[in-house]
Amino acid sequence: MSDHHSHHDSHTHSHKHSHEKKTRIVVYLTAVTMVAEIAFGYYTNSMALLADGWHMSSHALALGLSWIAYALSRKHHDNPNFRQGTDKILALSGYTSALFLQVIAIWMAIVSVERFFHPVPIKFHEAIFVAVIGLLVNGLSAVILHHKEEHSDHNIRSAYLHVLADGLTSVTAIIALTAGMYRKLYALDPLSGIISSVIITRWATGLAINSGKDLLDYRAD
């Protein structure tokens, strides 16, 4: 192996290790916020906050799988039994995340539609407060996961997009809850859940296609 190739391989391995540490921190942040949002979503009867929490839970799992994928990839970096390297672990992680995301999206859509036709009282102040905290955590996570494009891989970009999508859902929840509290537009709360389910479906589909192509070694001409 040439010195140049060895240096490049070491450089790539170093960035993967850095991505692993960043992903681990974001997993901790996301998991704590997820528990708070789901708990307060049930407590406040807010479908928007609950949708944001479940959205975040799907991303906590996805980010957790990314973290595990990086750890396994590092552990088996020199294992000759992985004849095509360990990158397939990252692709498998992404594909598994996509399937879980889609299940969450379908569940959220069903519950949101039911809540739309059978509304319940919402504790707006508590729900908005927790949603804002969720948005701040997403912002911090995005800063932690931000990376230069040349140092990117499918896994770290997937994690970064997860966090951005979470931030969008948090913004949607805050808007829906604020409008409900001040303008009495209560229907916006379950509508926020429906919108979130559509966003997750689009994200899950794209992630399944891209990671699936990696698993199958698909390359367009």
**What are the tens digits of pLDDT across the range 25-62?**
988 998 999 999 999 999 998 988 888 888 788 778 77
Query: Residue 211 and residue 158: Cα distance in Å, rounded?
Result: 10
Report residue 7's pLDDT band, with 50, 70 and 90 as the boundaries. very low
Confidence (pTM): 0.74
* Cβ atoms 159, 63 nearer than 8 A: yes
Q: What is the pLDDT of residue 20?
A: 80
Residue 201 inside a domain? The answer is yes
Q: What is the pLDDT of residue 8?
A: 45
Q: What is the pLDDT of residue 91?
A: 80
Residues of the domain holding 119: 17-215
Query: Residue 196 and residue 194: Cα distance in Å, rounded?
Result: 5
Residue 221 inside a domain? The answer is no
Report residue 136's pLDDT band, with 50, 70 and 90 as the boundaries. very high
Phi, psi of 71 (to 5 degrees): -65, -45
Q: Which of 188, 138, 153 is closest to 13 using CA atoms?
A: 153
**Domain harbouring 164, CATH code:** 1.20.1510
Q: Which of 96, 119, 52 is closest to 211 using CA atoms?
A: 96
Give the tens place of pLDDT for each residue, 150-207: 555 666 777 787 788 788 888 888 999 999 899 888 888 889 888 888 888 887 888 8
Torsion of CA 201, 207, 209, 211, to 10 degrees: -150
- Mean pLDDT within 104-129: 89
- Mean pLDDT within 99-103: 84
Residue 105 inside a domain? The answer is yes
Q: Across the chain, what does the average pLDDT equal?
A: 81
- If one compares 128 and 7, the residue with the highest pLDDT of the two is 128
If one counts the domains in the chain, the total is 1
Q: What is the pLDDT of residue 152?
A: 57
Q: What is the pLDDT of residue 57?
A: 81
